Amino acid sequence: MKITHNLLLVASIFCSTTLAKPVIITDFDDVWIKKSSFLGALAYLQPLENLFKSKKSSKEIVEQPVEKKERKLGNLPLRLLDYGRRYPRLASSMPGLVEYIGKSRCINQPIDNLYKHLKKEGYTIDIATNKDHMLYDLAIETLGNEIPNMVDMVFVAEPQSDENALAQLQEFANKPTTPARYKNMVNKALNLRETNTIIHVPSKKPAKSFYDSVTQRIGEDNDMIFIDDNEENVAAFNALQKDTNHLRLGIVYNERNLNQFAEDIKKAGLVLETNDQDLLNEIRYPGMWGKIKLYTYQTFGRMKAATS
């Protein structure tokens, strides 16, 4: 089986002290960071889009084919800003919505502690996310530089946008009646470029082209372990194993099955039950409720052992 083959490769890596440690590639949203409790905007985006689609004026029906073409925009901020262009009464609200979506994030502390541990142990850590450059920057603006200081490269998804759609966004932004905040965000979005550490990938997970871009940039001769909350994304990464003799191991981070995640990172050799017990307990039982459960299990376990 594919997973068994991967784990055998892991074993061979850790049996030799001369080989470099695998590069850790991690997802960002819902793994390293989480949505804050107040983030409700995303839940309203689809109903909002459906509301726009439901408009039945004759003018909109005539323009529908054009509108389909205009909405070929590669990331969420551009699509939201395009709502402001097509519905000017929303233009002043769209930048605030984009900022809210980007900034309403908090660090997933157990995973953050895991990556701090791995960094201390000499692992290279990279981020591969379907988040775009602007939303990544907004999240870091809120969270601070701790995460950027730990990673070597961040791969963000920036699929190509339709040139006509981009030109229409810029044209609307340049109008004297367009709100200044909208104008500034459009100009920023259209001028974001790669940096030495933030790499634009012209596709999204789970497309093979996304992983090919990431692995080629990291260096295909490196062994790699990929952590993502989406099983489809992990399966697509595992599929890379058939084309290389170097390790390509994907691990699912599932908040509903943290025991399995803990077992998987143990099997991959990233942590040890004997040396990293506190870290593993934090991963398995996060938060105050988790600490209560851990204390309960440990207490009843000791009582059962004492009476047996």
Domain ranges of the chain: 2-271
For residue 134, what pLDDT is reported?
98
Q: Is the pLDDT of residue 296 over 70?
A: no
Position 288 confidence tier, pLDDT thresholds 50, 70, 90:
low
Closest CA to 20 of 193, 214, 264, 247: 247
Q: Is the pLDDT of residue 124 over 50?
A: yes
CA distance 127 to 210: 13
Closest CA to 260 of 276, 236, 284, 237: 284
Instruction: Look up the pTM and report it.
Output: 0.82
Residue indicated by tokens 């070597």: 152
Q: Is the pLDDT of residue 60 over 50?
A: no
Q: Is the pLDDT of residue 58 over 80?
A: no
Task: Please provide the CATH number assigned to the domain covering 2-271.
Answer: 3.40.50.1000
Q: Is the pLDDT of residue 195 over 60?
A: yes
Q: Is the pLDDT of residue 92 over 80?
A: yes
CA distance 136 to 263: 30
Q: What angle do CA 42, 45, 48 make, to 5 degrees?
A: 155
Position 53 confidence tier, pLDDT thresholds 50, 70, 90:
very low
